[in-house]
A = this chain, B = another copy of it.
């Protein structure tokens, strides 16, 4: 069967291929796992449906699964993050691809149907949209051995379903693997968030007042790197233990309303809705920047900002100026979307190598296992450990 696809421009395939080849070299853990799984034939003739931000690193996961003998059906978990050239390269390499940058909500739904109508054996999901579809359309789930859910928010939805006994399929909470959550938020977002901010603004970080809202893993990573770049860091928190940790780490700690007039750059990392609100905008100084490093794009109350504004305009790629008083503008980066993806290149390759290696091994695990009862499962410890040990090995690090 020839592969099916709905992509923007097949002519972009070569350009996309170069990008995939680049990440291929550096996803060394996944390459080792792939080598290991080659011989057992577990992937052969299985159907895997994937719905994750479709860029080069994801594409390489898809290609790796393809090379192991499976049929791969893929779409993007967010039409804005789809890279058309990468999609074209996948199509050319025998993957069934349904993805266009900027696709409509309707198309997005159609794509999800498209990748599942093959009745996949395993689904790789990112936020829970495919899961939801398969619960509504169980006929497509009849071969399903399980779901690998990448994110916390997807896992939350699955757990809610499990609690209400509505979960139909076993699911693995990929995010809970130490080899993922200990590294991607702190070191991945910590670095790539700042790369995006510095590249978008071309502004100095040293000597600036950076206000980090939240001191969880993402907040810790953003704050640590801000210090490493020479900023004065203010942390705001609602959790008293984390607030005291931040203080002991040398950060200034105060409420956001107190920090508002001082900050040069505000970065949200909480996962909560509208943590920067009208009352804060009102107290900010002219020239303040706003960025979000949390998963959801609602941490900054952009609607309120828009209402408050006398005028707004795009002043530079992914920088939007909101003039909120005669002599006062604030600048929103990447529309309030997650800064390292919406305004940059996403996590560094090596960080995604860890996450996607966990994914690959968990797919293998689901394909190998007896059918599990519907529930949310942690990543098996031996898989988690194998991935992190492999990472140490490819980096030439020996431990006792």
Query: How far, in Å, is A208 (CB) from chain B's closest CB?
Result: 9
Partner of A244, one of B236, B316, B388: B388
Inside 8 A of A247's CB, which chain B residues have their CB?
206-207, 392, 395, 397
Q: With the chains together, A395 CA to B179 CA distance in Å?
A: 36
Q: With the chains together, A351 CA to B391 CA distance in Å?
A: 37
Partner of A241, one of B178, B287, B346, B348: B178
Q: With the chains together, A313 CA to B333 CA distance in Å?
A: 34
Query: When A183-B248, A204-B350, A206-B248 are in contact, do A399 and B229 touch as well, CB less than 8 Å?
Result: no
Partner of A398, one of B191, B254, B349: B254
Inside 8 A of A287's CB, which chain B residues have their CB?
25-26
Query: How far, in Å, is A333 (CB) from chain B's closest CB?
Result: 13
A202 beta carbon closer than 8 Å to chain B: yes
> Is the Cβ of A255 less than 8 Å from the Cβ of B399?
yes
Inside 8 A of A22's CB, which chain B residues have their CB?
315-316, 319
Interface centre among A249, A250, A254, A389 (most CB of B within 10 A): A250
A52 beta carbon closer than 8 Å to chain B: no
Scan A385-397; emit 1 where CB is below 8 A from any B CB, else 0: 1001101100101
Q: With the chains together, A205 CA to B225 CA distance in Å?
A: 11
A253 beta carbon closer than 8 Å to chain B: yes
Cβ-closest chain B residue relative to A285: B396
A230 beta carbon closer than 8 Å to chain B: yes
Q: With the chains together, A28 CA to B91 CA distance in Å?
A: 50
> Is the Cβ of B253 less than 8 Å from the Cβ of A400?
no
User: Which residues 360-396 in A have Cβ within 8 Å of B in the complex?
Assistant: 385, 388-389, 391-392, 395
Query: How far, in Å, is A185 (CB) from chain B's closest CB?
Result: 12
Query: How far, in Å, is A328 (CB) from chain B's closest CB?
Result: 12
> Is the Cβ of B345 less than 8 Å from the Cβ of A206?
no
Query: How far, in Å, is A219 (CB) from chain B's closest CB?
Result: 13
User: Which residues 1-58 in A have Cβ within 8 Å of B in the complex?
Assistant: 18-19, 21-23, 25-26
> Is the Cβ of A348 less than 8 Å from the Cβ of B199?
no
> Is the Cβ of B199 less than 8 Å from the Cβ of A199?
yes
Query: How far, in Å, is A201 (CB) from chain B's closest CB?
Result: 8
Query: How far, in Å, is A253 (CB) from chain B's closest CB?
Result: 5
Q: With the chains together, A190 CA to B319 CA distance in Å?
A: 24
Q: With the chains together, A240 CA to B394 CA distance in Å?
A: 13
Query: When A199-B195, A385-B240 are in contact, do A395 and B228 touch as well, CB less than 8 Å?
Result: no
Scan A252-290; emit 1 where CB is below 8 A from any B CB, else 0: 111110100000000000000000000000000001000
Inside 8 A of A399's CB, which chain B residues have their CB?
236-240, 243, 253-255
Inside 8 A of A225's CB, which chain B residues have their CB?
228-230
Inside 8 A of A67's CB, which chain B residues have their CB?
none
Inside 8 A of A204's CB, which chain B residues have their CB?
187-188, 191, 348-351
> Is the Cβ of B230 less than 8 Å from the Cβ of A250?
yes
Query: How far, in Å, is A355 (CB) from chain B's closest CB?
Result: 13
A198 beta carbon closer than 8 Å to chain B: yes
Cβ-closest chain B residue relative to A178: B241
A92 beta carbon closer than 8 Å to chain B: no
Inside 8 A of A106's CB, which chain B residues have their CB?
none
Q: With the chains together, A19 CA to B5 CA distance in Å?
A: 39
> Is the Cβ of A21 less than 8 Å from the Cβ of B392?
no
> Is the Cβ of A258 less than 8 Å from the Cβ of B349?
no
Q: List 5 A-B contacts (CB under 8 A).
A: A22-B316, A182-B245, A230-B248, A244-B391, A255-B399
Sample of 7 further A-B pairs with CB below 8 A, known A195-B198, A202-B346: A21-B315, A179-B241, A191-B229, A204-B350, A225-B229, A225-B230, A255-B399
